[in-house]
Structure 1
Amino acid sequence: MQPPDIMPAAEGPTLAHLASRVLKRPLLLHPDKAAIVLHVLQGRIGVEQFAPLSPDANRFMGSRIGEDGRQRTYAIVSGVATIPIVGSLVNRGAWIGASSGLVSYEGLSKQLSDAATDPEVSAILLDIDSPGGEASGMFTLAAQIAQVAQTMPVTAFVNDMAASAAYGLASAAREIVVSATSIVGSVGVVLTHLDRSGEMERKGVKATLIHAGRHKVDGHPFGPLPEAVHADLQAEVTKVYDQFVAVVAANRSGMSDQAVRATEARTYLGQDSIDVGLADRIATLDAVLAELSKWARGATSTRRGFAMSKPVETAPMAIAGISQADHNAAVEAARAEGMRAGRAEATARIRSILGCEEAKGREAQAMVLALDTAMSAEDTAKVLAASPKASSGVASIAERAAGQAEMGANAGSIRIDATERVASGWARAIANANQRFA
């Protein structure tokens, strides 16, 4: 008899896997999307699976084949790398694709780093249509986007939603462009707890949790949430929210921390998002691509040796929407402010090193470490503490008086070391005083 065929497990995350990433975790997710996810999960956890995952792009535009014939992880249109950010965001998952409804920070990071080092790429377009997702991973990727934006134009086009975590990523671009119907914002955090005790009671099921560690089962779904556990989870949500607000305020130079908080996690439509400072202008995707392509054609064909600040100073002002004169003035003001801040930081570091306890007796070494290295004050203190104190060449009074006769002693009993008498005037003075009063 032939053995039965063994069917491989379907690829992709199960609903149980999705639930583990959604429940009891801080999410930077639009509330409407959260409601849909919870509705799908309710009563179906572990039953169904998503369709197989795929790394394919969601947009038929540009080419993924480079001049050298290699396959890229993104498409290029006239020197502009287009990176789709479509679907709910998760931290890990590499090539989770559009068919799953998920996109991972891990995969986006790879696409971004590849595009940033591709000699055929001179600008990057983030094509965003996402309600947000996991908090874990968003901050790291946003920092990466901001870093790349220092070397080349990075534009976020909201097509047609950039909410919560997706907006956190968009905020790191040089410019955020929206359509008249784009949904932008939701700068907030949500954490969901499901109390399934009533449902289980109706089914005659009672859960018993056997555990070690008082907080091991905090937030379990088999009963209501205790006040103490609620307070702990609220503190966690507040901490993530503070970090989220700080990132947006830092990336959006025109918005203060208070202005970001004042949105109270609301979403804004088109022009309204521009009015509150969450976006820069309205345009179509084709128009943005044309502008970036024009910049790409005017940029150097190879970016080897590309100065960090050069693209920022020479980017076409049509993209930023300001005049060249205003741009130059802003650059000079920022440079001057940076120099002042750098000088103040350097002065504080030097004072901290030279004034620390470990520098006493090691002044020369402390001076070298302060002026000729870039070591932090904390690391410098550790080095100094492990170093021997330098000899000053002048013996202390106790050292100079060692072995000498006390005042009033017999002159004949005075033993004065000839070497120390030569090296120290204090020793001779003590000896003469002893002889005088003998």
Structure 2
Amino acid sequence: MTEPAVTPAPSGPSLLHIADRVLGRPLLMHPGKVEVLLHVLEGRIPLGDASLAPLTPDASRFTGQVSASRTFRVEGGVGIVSIVGSLVNRGAWIGASSGLTSYEGLAKQLTDAAADPKVKAIMLDLDSPGGEATGMFALAAKVREVAAEKPVVAVVNDMAASAAYGIASQATEIVVSPTSIVGSIGVVLTHLDRSGELAAKGIKPTLIHAGAHKVDGNPFGPLSDAVRADLQAEVGQFYDQFVGLVAQGRGAKLSAAKARATEARTFIGQEAIDRGLADRVSTFEAVLASLQSKPAGRGTTASKGVPMPTTGAGPAAVAPDGDALAAARSEGHAAGLAEGRALGAKEAAERIGAILGSDEAKANATLAAHLAFRTAFSPAEAISALTAAGRAAAPSVPTIAERAAGMAEFGGSAGPLSAREDASAAWGRAISRVSGAPAETQAAPVPAAADPNPWRRLLRR
């Protein structure tokens, strides 16, 4: 007897699971990402028995996980926690093929980094449009808790919108690039009325329920005014908590009133700093080097474990031996070198950001990029040069008709010179200009047989 085929249960989130997390639930997400999700889900959510292939995460759950490896990256004593893609409440998705990252997984990484004695600071590497509202506030509290023990710097590389910004707002500092997108402090809830689609397919759903509000917000019909009001009130509650959270993390730089005044807009680079949503412009590499050069702990200025030379004749004065002194000097030199490099990288990033972020750069982006990356101009000098240059003229591209003017048609007469001879003459003039031949000799015809230039002889054949 043939054994029946057994299909393993799918693992990971399917499109149905994603739809359940997106539709009819408050989201702290950039509206552009919501549109993308709705476009992906449109027409792909089966109404019958059709199944969809699951999206399998790249990481297993953390609870009970037995592994000697870290759950986060470490570089020179700095723990790096990446917050990338759409954010969901539960699950251990870090770099999942579905593009999901979970608050649960991020909390585990932060907890491990805070407990690791070799980690003296933590970087949040953010590139996320946001995600689910539920779960974000608990993770933000975890960031604030860890930041009380170790420096936590949020580097926006290159988006921290909505829920992602809520997380970043609780860090010790928020660093952006000149093109970082920051903000979207708001809440969105999407409802799909699929009654027209179902009617076109001849499907008429019937909802049998107990409890007047049990099926509020179902997709089989339009929202009533009462249900719409209830959902709006729910969104308002999440919004109040969101702006309060941001104000708690940013303090005087971004109060709750200022957060509301943004009306969920996003801001780029320097404007985010001007609005109080970020602290400074720099690069991921510069921030990493700066954190690596700093001693562990808050307010600690001296290295631990290395005896430093003392002065005085009293019994408390103890001179270190030669090896210890050499070690102290070597460590001091290395620390100074690293600090100098970090400072130089920071100043360079700030200079580039000031040039590219100026209004004058918008009128001449090509020249602005040249001044920022190819010269040592200060921001003031670069802006002065951009002002003098004015707005760059749009490049003039000749039409096909203009480029073809004066050229012989295929199979037609080329006049005094054949098309091949005309091309040969043009090629010769170009070679003469490169070789430095006088201008008056560039257009002189040379008989094919006597022409010393092999390229022209080849073209004349």
Report whether the alignment pairs 1:266 with 2:265: yes
Structure 2's unaligned 5+ residue stretches are 61-66, 305-338, 347-461
2:29 counterpart residue number: 29
Report whether the alignment pairs 1:283 with 2:287: no
Report the residue type matching 1:191 in the other structure: L
The Cα of 1:184 is off from its aligned counterpart by 0.4
- Aligned counterpart for 2:112 among listed residues 111, 114, 127: 114
The Cα of 1:2 is off from its aligned counterpart by 4.5
The Cα of 1:5 is off from its aligned counterpart by 4.8
1:144 counterpart residue number: 142
The Cα of 1:96 is off from its aligned counterpart by 4.7
- 8 Å contact from structure 1 (residues 161, 184) kept in 2: yes
Q: 1:301 to 1:224 in 2, by over 3 A?
A: farther
**How do 1:421-432 residues align onto structure 2 when only pairs under 5 Å count?**
none
Q: 1:125 to 1:301 in 2, by over 3 A?
A: farther
Report whether the alignment pairs 1:49 with 2:53: yes
The Cα of 1:301 is off from its aligned counterpart by 8.7
Distance of 1:247 and 1:21 partners within structure 2? 23
Q: CA RMSD, aligned part only?
A: 2.3
Distance of 2:70 and 2:295 partners within structure 1? 18
Distance of 1:49 and 1:294 partners within structure 2? 48
1:3 counterpart residue number: 3
1:125 counterpart residue number: 123
- Spell out, residue by residue over 1:330-358, the C-alpha distance to the aligned partner (whole angstroms, 9 max, x if none): xxxxxxxxxxxxxxxxxxxxxxxxxxxxx
The Cα of 1:181 is off from its aligned counterpart by 1.0
The Cα of 1:255 is off from its aligned counterpart by 1.4
Q: 1:45 to 1:176 in 2, by over 3 A?
A: same
Q: TM-score, normalised by structure 2?
A: 0.61
Matched residues, number: 295
Distance of 2:190 and 2:89 partners within structure 1? 18
Distance of 1:51 and 1:210 partners within structure 2? 32
1:194 counterpart residue number: 192
> Using CA pairs below 8 Å that are at least 6 residues apart, which structure has the higher relative contact order?
1
Report the residue type matching 1:27 in the other structure: L
Distance of 1:301 and 1:185 partners within structure 2? 39
Distance of 1:260 and 1:91 partners within structure 2? 24
- 8 Å contact from structure 1 (residues 120, 301) kept in 2: no
2:329 counterpart residue number: none
- Spell out, residue by residue over 1:241-263, the C-alpha distance to the aligned partner (whole angstroms, 9 max, x if none): 00000000111111121111010
The Cα of 1:45 is off from its aligned counterpart by 1.7
Distance of 1:285 and 1:85 partners within structure 2? 14
Distance of 2:295 and 2:8 partners within structure 1? 46
The Cα of 1:7 is off from its aligned counterpart by 3.9
Distance of 2:96 and 2:159 partners within structure 1? 15
- Aligned counterpart for 2:156 among listed residues 155, 158, 166: 158
Report the residue type matching 2:278 in the other structure: A
Q: 1:50 to 1:291 in 2, by over 3 A?
A: farther
- 8 Å contact from structure 1 (residues 123, 296) kept in 2: no
- 8 Å contact from structure 1 (residues 81, 123) kept in 2: yes
Distance of 1:163 and 1:95 partners within structure 2? 19
Q: 1:152 to 1:297 in 2, by over 3 A?
A: closer
Partner of 2:217, secondary structure, is: coil
Q: TM-score, normalised by structure 1?
A: 0.64
Distance of 2:295 and 2:167 partners within structure 1? 23
Distance of 1:37 and 1:95 partners within structure 2? 18
1:181 counterpart residue number: 179
Partner of 2:189, secondary structure, is: coil
Partner of 1:100, secondary structure, is: coil
2:85 counterpart residue number: 87
Report the residue type matching 2:133 in the other structure: A
The Cα of 1:296 is off from its aligned counterpart by 4.5
The Cα of 1:8 is off from its aligned counterpart by 2.3
The Cα of 1:39 is off from its aligned counterpart by 1.0
Q: 1:226 to 1:95 in 2, by over 3 A?
A: same
1:311 counterpart residue number: none
1:342 counterpart residue number: none
- 8 Å contact from structure 2 (residues 14, 55) kept in 1: no
Report the residue type matching 2:56 in the other structure: P
1:40 counterpart residue number: 40
1:240 counterpart residue number: 238
Distance of 1:154 and 1:114 partners within structure 2? 14
Distance of 1:286 and 1:296 partners within structure 2? 18
Distance of 2:96 and 2:156 partners within structure 1? 17
